[in-house]
């Protein structure tokens, strides 16, 4: 079925003056609810749901929250649907980093991207997919840099599949790099119909996404969508580090790693507050990973002085 796509996927990355190697304030467990649609909160993700504001009786929401999740209470669900216009338009379920402007003409209405300077090794997460009539889903991350007045791709990690996946399955995609430059932006896209740029797709195709992460060459995964909130202090630490969680864990564990990925500490978590001694650690930067029954819930880092 070939129809117009209200939010075709075109890479228009927005860069800012600061840099980062992880994406902050992103959790598919936190959503903002409005009269017509729901979207991940925090100002990082955007969807084509705002098309509803043009006419709620004609345009349905294509991205929503779901309790069918790998970790935490929620995950993201994208579904390709048809509008009630005559003729009907195909609306691809799309979740991306950036901003959606429902007043702009497609494809300029979807502006994707976040400031970013890291060079991750892999892009990982969990997904399920129901392909309708041979449709394909799209999962990808693009690292880019503004060079000579144009946006140049530094590296990317891509998965496109037409296979139905009924149980949550981990995707683990290696970044392919095309230069040694440092990127200034990252664009991440999840779409229930991959061929929007070719005006192709099928209503009913559905993609679930949860617990995504970026993995660096030290083997440590920085979660993009942490399932719990964690406060880590003081910064820098001298003799101990305090961790405060927003909920209690069952079979919880915290592991501490060096910058090169070597594990130096591992402790069980029995309540929402934990104090980890670090007086035996050398001065430097350390990463932590918090898990529940072996599943990663939150990651971060701290400094030992």
- The predicted-structure confidence for 217-246, as pLDDT tens digits, reads as follows 777 777 766 778 899 999 899 999 999 999
**Which pLDDT belongs to residue 214?**
86
pLDDT averaged over the chain?
84
**Which pLDDT belongs to residue 9?**
33
- The predicted-structure confidence for 111-125, as pLDDT tens digits, reads as follows 888 888 888 999 999
- Is the same domain home to 198 and 56? yes
**Which pLDDT belongs to residue 216?**
83
**Which pLDDT belongs to residue 13?**
31
- Residue 137 pLDDT more than 70? yes
- Whether residue 4 is contained in a domain is answered as no
- Is the same domain home to 288 and 194? no
**Which pLDDT belongs to residue 14?**
33
**Which pLDDT belongs to residue 6?**
35
- The predicted-structure confidence for 8-53, as pLDDT tens digits, reads as follows 333 333 333 333 566 643 568 888 888 999 988 877 789 989 889 8
The pTM score is 0.73
Task: Show which of 196, 221, 246 is a domain's final residue.
Answer: 221
Task: Show which of 199, 221, 243 is a domain's final residue.
Answer: 221
- Whether residue 3 is contained in a domain is answered as no
- Whether residue 10 is contained in a domain is answered as no
The phi and psi torsions of 53 (rounded to 5 degrees) equal -65, -20
Using CA atoms, how far residue 137 sits from 187, 227, 270, in Å, is 17, 24, 40
- Is the same domain home to 119 and 264? no
User: Facing residues of 13 across strands?
Assistant: none
**Which pLDDT belongs to residue 230?**
92
- Whether residue 297 is contained in a domain is answered as yes
Task: Write out the residue range of the structural domain in which residue 265 sits.
Answer: 228-304
- Whether residue 9 is contained in a domain is answered as no
149 band by pLDDT with thresholds 50, 70 and 90 = confident
- Is the same domain home to 176 and 40? yes
CA-atom Rg of the chain in angstroms: 20
- Whether residue 24 is contained in a domain is answered as no
CA-nearest of 1, 71, 59, 73 to 31 is 73
- The predicted-structure confidence for 167-225, as pLDDT tens digits, reads as follows 999 999 999 999 988 898 999 999 999 986 666 789 999 999 998 888 887 777 777 66
**Which pLDDT belongs to residue 240?**
94
């Amino acid at each position: 079925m070939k129809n117009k796509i209200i939010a075709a996927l075109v890479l228009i990355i927005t860069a800012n003056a600061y840099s980062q190697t992880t994406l902050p304030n992103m959790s598919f467990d936190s959503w903002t609810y409005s009269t017509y649609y729901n979207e991940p909160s925090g100002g990082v993700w955007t969807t084509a749901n705002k098309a509803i504001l043009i006419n709620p009786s004609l345009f349905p929401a294509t991205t929503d929250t779901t309790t069918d999740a790998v970790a935490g209470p929620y995950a993201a669900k994208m579904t390709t649907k048809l509008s009630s216009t005559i003729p009907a338009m195909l609306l691809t379920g799309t979740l991306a980093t950036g901003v959606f402007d429902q007043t702009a003409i497609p494809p300029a209405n979807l502006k994707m991207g976040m400031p970013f300077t890291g060079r991750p090794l892999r892009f990982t997460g969990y997904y399920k997919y129901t392909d309708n009539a041979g449709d394909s889903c799209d999962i990808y991350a693009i690292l880019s840099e503004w060079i000579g007045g144009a946006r140049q791709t530094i590296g990317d990690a891509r998965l496109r599949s037409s296979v139905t996946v009924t149980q949550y399955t981990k995707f683990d995609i290696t970044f392919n790099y095309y230069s040694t430059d440092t990127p200034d932006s990252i664009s991440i896209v999840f779409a229930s119909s991959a061929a929007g740029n070719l005006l192709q797709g099928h209503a009913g195709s559905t993609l679930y996404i949860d617990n995504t992460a970026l993995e660096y060459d030290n083997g440590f995964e920085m979660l993009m969508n942490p399932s719990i909130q964690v406060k880590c202090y003081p910064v820098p630490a001298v003799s101990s580090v305090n961790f405060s969680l927003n909920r209690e864990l069952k079979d919880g564990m915290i592991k501490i790693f060096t910058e090169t990925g070597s594990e130096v500490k591992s402790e069980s978590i029995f309540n929402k507050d934990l104090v980890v001694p670090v007086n035996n650690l050398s001065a430097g930067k350390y990463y932590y990973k918090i898990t529940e029954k072996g599943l990663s819930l939150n990651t971060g880092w701290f400094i030992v002085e």
